[in-house]
Amino acid sequence: MQFNAIQIILVAVWAFIVGIDQFDFLESLYQPIVTGAVIGAILGDLQTGLVVGGTYQLMTIGNMPVGGAQPPNAVIGGVMSAVFGIASGLDTGAAVALAIPFALIGQYMITLVFTVMSPLMSSADKLAEKGDTKGIVRLNYFAMAMLGALFAVVCVGGLLGGSALGTSLQEFSDKYKWFMNGLDAAGKMMRFVGFATLLRIMLSNDLWGFYLSGFALAVVIGSIEGTAGATLLLVAFVGFAIAFYDFQTRVAMRKNAGSGNGGGDEDGI
């Protein structure tokens, strides 16, 4: 099946939008159920788009971006499965399967973008130092555009190159898997820079115990299956109790000290 220029451009535009939408905008346009229908409409077969999108949607329900984990990318998966379903007239299951290599590529691209964006934070620091509000806005739009453009390129590539491209991309990424693994691990570790920066500022010497006890509590709650999902909330309850108790005690101490200075013995009796 040949596509005309307008269709290719529209697919690129939609891929650009949903590439961003997976983290921003409405965070729902990218869902395969929507994307399948849109790609179907663009390629002139709304029915197939709806069916493939719906099928892919059911597959991803158990596979949400929970807690920052990146499952195979549903955005590219949704676009490409609709493309394959319509272009090659494959049955739904086969179309979805052919889209999986692209979904994995999408996952890698996100890892790459999130890593590349990390050093950019020191430019953001410099902008903040100058009070350059427009610069911060530009930086954010630039990052969004970069993500969208990458997704548009891969989807148009898939549209023109077909499933053969997916296979060769997968072979390529299998070959350099160690590099992606390493990058992924580095990415997972970078958040510790963020934590350490906060600690550098917040942690006075007498608060070390609270840092470690917060850590310990989260380890315990997080390792129990029934409570793991609510770990941070439960930890916050306990932390709040300690903080509030500390607050009340210190306020009471100061007030007592104040009245004590007044010289009255009545307080004690």
Partner 1 sequence: MASNATHYNNLKPAQPLDKKTLNKMVWRSLNLQASFNYERMQAAGWLYCILPGLEKIHGDNKEDLAISMGHNLEFFNTHPFLVTFVMGIVLSLEQQKTDISTIRSVRVAAMGPLGGIGDAIFWFTLVPITAGITANMAIDGSIAGPIIFLLIFNGVQFAIRFFLMGWSYKLGAKAIEIMTENAREFTRAASLLGVFVVGALTANMGNITVALEVANGESPIVIQSILDGILPKMIPLALTLLLYFLMKKKNWKPVMCIGLLLVIGIIGGLIGLF
Return d(Cα 30, Cα 21) in angstroms, integer.
Answer: 6
Question: Of 8, 9, 10, 46, which one interacts with partner 1 (CB under 8 A)?
Answer: 46
Q: Which stretch binds partner 1 (CB under 8 A): 83-91, 93-101, 133-141, 260-268?
A: 133-141
Return d(Cα 85, Cα 75) in angstroms, integer.
Answer: 16
- Subset of 59-78 contacting partner 1 (CB under 8 A): 61, 64-68
Question: Of 88, 224, 242, 259, which one interacts with partner 1 (CB under 8 A)?
Answer: 242
Question: Of 9, 94, 153, 217, which one interacts with partner 1 (CB under 8 A)?
Answer: 217
Residue with token string 């390629």: 43
Question: Of 1, 13, 97, 120, which one interacts with partner 1 (CB under 8 A)?
Answer: 120
Q: In whole angstroms, how close is the CB of 158 to partner 1 at the nearest point?
A: 21
Question: Of 13, 97, 186, 224, which one interacts with partner 1 (CB under 8 A)?
Answer: 186
DSSP letters spanning 20-56: HHTTSTTS-TTSHHHHHHHHHHHHT-HHHHHHHHHHH
Asked if 9 contacts 160 with a C-beta cutoff of 8 angstroms, the reply is no
| 247 makes contact with partner 1 (CB under 8 A) | yes
Show the CA angle centred on residue 111, arms to residues 165 and 122, nearest 5°: 135
- Subset of 135-154 contacting partner 1 (CB under 8 A): 136-137, 139-144
- Subset of 187-206 contacting partner 1 (CB under 8 A): 187-204
Show the CA angle centred on residue 248, arms to residues 243 and 250, nearest 5°: 95
| 1 makes contact with partner 1 (CB under 8 A) | no
Q: Whose Cβ is closer to partner 1: residue 45's or residue 169's?
A: 45
Task: Give the side-chain half-sphere CA count within 13 A for 128.
Answer: 6
